[in-house]
Amino acid sequence: MSYNVVTTINSQETMDKGIGFNRNIFLPWLDAVAALRAGTADAAQIRAQLDPIVQQDIASAENRRKAIDILINIWVKTGGVSPRLHQQALHFFQTTPVPGDRLWLHYGMTLLYYPFFRETAAAIGQLSRYTEGITTALVKQRLIADRGELGSLNKAVERVVFSLRKWGIVQDADRRNTYVPQRQTLTANTQDLEAWLLACALWSHPAEELPFNDLVRLPELFPFCFSIGIDCIRQNSAFIVHRQGVSMDMVRLSSVRNVGYYNQEG
C-alpha cells in the first residue's frame, strides 16, 4: 500500500487546519465517528448519524455543526492527508477492543489533520518537562511567541486543553486553572500501534527526518510510553532509517508528504 496524498485542499480548509480546533471534543464522539467511518466513507451519512450523539451535549445547531466538522476532519478527511495511515487506523480501531489503544488512534489522527493541535500538545509537553503544573496562560504564551497574536488562538488553546482533560491526558491540579500532564502513562498492546503513532507524529512534524531518540521523545507525544526499538522501525515499511555519524539513526517516512498542506497552515 502506498502513500497517495490528495493535494487539492481549498483555501478555507487550509485556514481551518491552521487553527481550526475550535470546539471541545469528547472521547465518546471520537469513538462514534471512528465506528461510523469503519462502516461507510459517506461523510454526509456519518454527519447525520453523529448529530443526535453530539446533541446530547450541545444544544446549539451551529455549535453542533462545528464540533461535527472537527470529527469529520479527524476520521474522514484524514483519508486525503495520508490514505495509508488512515486505513491502518481503521483496521486498528476495528480489531482492538482496548479503549486505551483507541486513544492512540484518535490522537494520531488529530495530529494528522490539525497542526495547531500538534503545536499545542508540543507546548504542553515542553512545559511539563520543567514544571509539574501548567496553565492555559503558559501554553498561550509559548504559542504566541511562535505564531504571533492571532485572534482565534486563545480560544483554540482552551478547546485543546479542555479536550485533553476529557481524554484523560491532562488532569486537574489542586490549584484552580492548573493542570498536570500525564507523561508517558499510555501504553499500547502492540508495537505496530506504537510504530503507527510515530509515523503520524513524523508525518505531522515540520522536519522531514528526525533522530530515532528524538522521535520517540517528541514533546507532543508526552502522554505515550514507547517500548519499540530502532530494529523494529527498520523492519517497518513506513520508515526509512539511515545512519548519520557514528551512532545516530535518522528516521524518515518512506513516502513524500503533502508539502502544500504543511506550507499553508495559516
Q: What is the pTM of this model?
A: 0.89
Mean pLDDT of 225-250: 94
- The predicted-structure confidence for 35-52, as pLDDT tens digits, reads as follows 999 999 999 999 999 999
| Confidence bin at 259 (pLDDT 50/70/90) | very low
| Confidence bin at 18 (pLDDT 50/70/90) | low
**Cβ atoms within 10 Å, residue 66:** 14
Where exactly are the structural domains of the chain? 191-262
Lookup result for grid cell 465506528: 35
- In degrees and rounded to multiples of 5, residue 122 shows phi and psi of -65, -40
Q: Mean pLDDT score of the chain, rounded to an integer?
A: 88
Angle formed at CA 77 by CA 51 and CA 209, multiple of 5 degrees: 140
**Cβ atoms within 10 Å, residue 22:** 18
- The predicted-structure confidence for 50-96, as pLDDT tens digits, reads as follows 999 999 999 999 999 999 999 999 999 999 999 999 999 999 999 98
